[in-house]
A and B are shown apart, each in its own frame.
Chain A
Amino acid sequence: MTIWRTLWRDLKLFVDDAALAASKDLRIEWRARTTLAQMLPFAALVLVLFGFAFDANRPTLELATPGLLAMTMLFVAVVAVQRSIAVESFDGARRMLVLSGMAPAAVFAGKAAAVAVQLLIIMGLLTVGVVVLYDAAVESILLVVATGVAAALGLATAGSLLGAVVAGAKTQQAVLSVLLLPVSAPVLVAASRAFGDGFGTVAVNGWSWVGLLLAFAAVNAALGAAVYGALLEDA
């Protein structure tokens, strides 16, 4: 009984710390409006430029919608993770985080959750964008939402982990892209296939690809929780 009580207390502490870290990042975002001011115009621009790149050919754009959606999310994830690192680069904020006494795994979970929330907001707006601009028809809204959530979790966990790797370095922005883009290739493939099923452009079982996305997120979350403390201390 005591073991369960201790476990429950530790879990509650972990969730509280993670919620605190996530709410901190989201509050900063809300006050700075970076998500709206930078990421949203960036995502909209990518959609418009793809329209030009495909010669404004509506059937081609409709077919390419799942891949474009996944790729735009990937690009936006790079910007979101860079922002997540940037909020702790001044006034010794990273050192304060180490000294705060919060469990490093909880800080990692919180920061990844904050990035995932921002990606989900952008994903929702992007979905509206492809329906309006590319004439895409959603066949399974549940699958599209599940894919968006799983892809956001995968990108957020991998991004937060690699963001911590490059944090504090002079060339962090360039190196983050070099690391995150190839590592996120499975997300791009799986999300494209699952979105394809959701938009009815590809005849595959989208739910198995959602499973792959969740597995990717779980592996990166486990790795991040294990090594985030060492990265914070050494950064």
Chain B
Amino acid sequence: MNPQSSSTTTSTEEAAAAQITGYLGGPARTRTRFTFWLGTLTLVGFAAVAALGLLAVPADDVQGDAVRIIFVHVPSALGAYAAFGVTAIGSLMWLWRRSLWWDTAAHAGAEVGVLLCGLTLVTGMLWGRPTWGTYWEWGDVRLVTTLILFLVMVGYLSVRSLGGDSASVATRAAVVGLVGAINIPIVNRSVTWWANRTLHQESSLTDGKLEDLTLFTLVLAFVVGAMAIYWMLIHRFRIGWLQRQISDRDLSEALRTRQAEAQQ
């Protein structure tokens, strides 16, 4: 690597950081003491879940080692629902209160939710291959509806990139967020509604078939997963908030420049 280009990149990044700091009248960071310790604790928790899930938990009689995927699959699925719930509430509150705080929260929820929903689909397919003998089963309504929910929320992110002023983007996205939210109960209850058309098992926690250590690891995975989601949501929200402040500053600056030009 060329040392000169490396130092140029660093100085450019530093200049950008200094410009943002100047714009905002303070350091442009998303980290606080709370999020630092939350993130650290989450990493330790992930290490514990990985150690327990991969080394201590015994293989399942029927599913074999594939059962270990539930420690990622189930928490990420519930996390995706929770994040999309944040998007739905944020969207509703934007339409009601017209507060950009809620719109930023909705955006953060959608990005985190899409990430987790994608992870749910991928881990589900990886689990399905050894267990069901196929990566994808069209007859399983929960799989298909989760994919539809994922695609709707990808559409939500597409709408956010359409451009326009903040209020316009927020309203457009809020409507798509609400349409997506209507899908959440359909996905969640689909096993019950279309019970004759699913390969999915009942809830792993409530069917009482899990071993003690497996159950403990799953509960730990839920707690650590919830912490990770909270950490991601906070950081994404703060990044979105900083982006808004910068674009507002840019707009004010441009208006001031035009006014100064007009007065000359």
Interfacial residues, chain A to chain B (CB-CB below 8 A): 158, 161-162, 164-166, 168-172, 175, 178-179, 181-183, 185-186, 219-220, 223, 227, 230-231, 234-235
Q: When A219-B182, A234-B167 are in contact, do A161 and B175 touch as well, CB less than 8 Å? A: yes
- B152 interfacial by beta-carbon distance below 8 Å: yes
Asked if A169 and B152 sit within 8 Å, CB to CB, the answer is no
From B157, which residue of chain A is reached at the shortest CB distance?
Answer: A178
Q: Report the bound CA distance from A161 to B175 in whole Å.
A: 8
Q: When A179-B176, A182-B148, A231-B175 are in contact, do A169 and B162 touch as well, CB less than 8 Å? A: yes
Asked if B162 and A166 sit within 8 Å, CB to CB, the answer is yes
The residue that B158 contacts in the complex, of A175, A183, A234, A235, with Cβ under 8 A, is A175
Q: Report the bound CA distance from A36 to B104 in whole Å.
A: 44
Asked if B178 and A223 sit within 8 Å, CB to CB, the answer is yes
Shortest beta-carbon distance, A81 to chain B, in Å?
14
Q: Report the bound CA distance from A171 to B95 in whole Å.
A: 24
Asked if B162 and A227 sit within 8 Å, CB to CB, the answer is no
The residue that B176 contacts in the complex, of A165, A171, A181, with Cβ under 8 A, is A165
For B176-189 the 0/1 string (1 means CB < 8 A from A) is 10110010001000
From A219, which residue of chain B is reached at the shortest CB distance?
Answer: B182
Shortest beta-carbon distance, B197 to chain A, in Å?
10
Asked if B155 and A170 sit within 8 Å, CB to CB, the answer is no
Known: A175-B155, A182-B148. 17 other contacts (CB 8 A): A161-B179, A166-B162, A170-B162, A171-B162, A172-B162, A175-B162, A178-B151, A179-B152, A179-B155, A179-B158, A182-B155, A219-B182, A223-B179, A223-B182, A227-B171, A234-B167, A234-B172
| Contacts A/B (CB < 8 Å), 16 sampled | A164-B175, A165-B172, A165-B176, A166-B162, A166-B172, A169-B162, A175-B155, A178-B155, A179-B158, A182-B151, A183-B152, A183-B155, A219-B182, A223-B175, A230-B171, A231-B172
Asked if A162 and B158 sit within 8 Å, CB to CB, the answer is no
Residues on the A chain within 8 Å of B158, using CB: 175, 178-179
Residues on the B chain within 8 Å of A165, using CB: 159, 172, 175-176
Residues on the B chain within 8 Å of A219, using CB: 182
The residue that A234 contacts in the complex, of B144, B154, B159, B171, with Cβ under 8 A, is B171
Interface of A is mostly: helix
- B163 interfacial by beta-carbon distance below 8 Å: yes
The residue that B179 contacts in the complex, of A162, A166, A175, with Cβ under 8 A, is A162
From A179, which residue of chain B is reached at the shortest CB distance?
Answer: B155
Q: Report the bound CA distance from A183 to B159 in whole Å.
A: 14
From A226, which residue of chain B is reached at the shortest CB distance?
Answer: B95
Residues on the B chain within 8 Å of A166, using CB: 159, 162, 172
The residue that B159 contacts in the complex, of A161, A170, A179, with Cβ under 8 A, is A179
Residues on the A chain within 8 Å of B144, using CB: 185
Residues on the A chain within 8 Å of B176, using CB: 162, 165, 179
**CB contact list, B73-97 vs A, under 8 A:** 95
4 closest residue pairs by CB, A with B:
A182-B151, A169-B162, A179-B155, A234-B171
- B164 interfacial by beta-carbon distance below 8 Å: yes
Residues on the A chain within 8 Å of B162, using CB: 166, 169-172, 175
Q: Report the bound CA distance from A178 to B155 in whole Å.
A: 6
Residues on the A chain within 8 Å of B154, using CB: 178
Q: Report the bound CA distance from A182 to B154 in whole Å.
A: 10
Residues on the A chain within 8 Å of B182, using CB: 219, 223
Q: Report the bound CA distance from A158 to B178 in whole Å.
A: 12
Residues on the B chain within 8 Å of A170, using CB: 162-163
Residues on the A chain within 8 Å of B179, using CB: 158, 161-162, 183, 220, 223
Q: Report the bound CA distance from A166 to B154 in whole Å.
A: 15
- B21 interfacial by beta-carbon distance below 8 Å: no
Asked if B155 and A169 sit within 8 Å, CB to CB, the answer is no
